[in-house]
Amino acid sequence: MPPPPAIRLGPPHPYLKTHGSKVARLHLLDWVVLALLFAIDVGLNLIEPFHRFVGADMMADLRYPLKSNTVPVWAVPIYAIIGPIIIIVGIYMKRRNVYDMHHAILGLLFSVLITGVLTDAIKDGVGRPRPNFFWRCFPDGVPKFNNITTQVMCHGDPAVIKEGHKSFPSGHSSWSFAGLGFLSWYLAGKMKAFDRRGHVAKLCIVLLPLLLAAMVAVSRVSDYWHH
């Protein structure tokens, strides 16, 4: 006796086999908003942050060594954006779901750009001096203060001093958790790590991006770029 004919519950998902450009066009407004967020973040990095009052008696907590970054600035978009995108594309190569790939990349970019705008806006508004502010302000080690207010009178590189007023919050840390945190939850969904079947190995994989983000955050304190 032949098997009964298959029952179609509905039309196949319209985006599973379609070209990626069609999906992108349907979400054109989202990409426009992303471009706007990127422009805003660039502008926030160009403007001068608030220069909070720094007096002579405050310098004891701001004389930590001016070290180089353990995690360079150029490396942040590589591991927080490009790395997750490579993994997302790799999953697409196996499953061939354009809809999933597009939305994963879109969500990742929204995660890091919204975080970037919020982080840099707070940085500019708060203007908290970094732990190594003394050496940014006085690279020759000779301090100079206003005789009346005791306000610092910096004579260092203006660009270095500008960065010295951006201690809170940490951009490395926020971008790391925005990008790698998104990747962590994405992997958890793809591997079904929370289906209550006790996948310890899968949970370890899911936690790896978060561990990397945490180590980046720790490096920002050990490098004396953040309190």
Give the burial class of 68: count Cβ atoms within 10 A of its Cβ; 0-12 exposed, 13-18 middle, 19 or more buried: exposed
The three-state secondary structure class of 205 is: helix
Rounded to whole angstroms, the Cα distance separating 39 from 43 reads: 6
Q: Residue 165 catalytic?
A: no
* Residue type at position 72: P
Q: Which residue is associated with the tokens 């942050």? A: 49
The two three-digit tokens of residue 59, written as one number: 């310098």
Rounded to whole angstroms, the Cα distance separating 220 from 9 reads: 53
Q: Residue 226 catalytic?
A: yes
Compute and round to an integer the Cα radius of gyration of the chain. Answer: 24
- Among residues 13, 27, 226, 227, which one is catalytic? 226
Residues with Cβ within 8 Å of 133's Cβ and at least 6 positions away in sequence, in order, are 54, 62, 164, 165, 167
- Among residues 155, 172, 199, 227, which one is catalytic? 172
The CA dihedral of 224, 130, 165, 61, to the nearest 10 degrees, is -160
Check: CB of residue 134 under 8 Å from CB of residue 54: no
* Residue type at position 30: D
Which are the catalytic amino acids?
172, 226
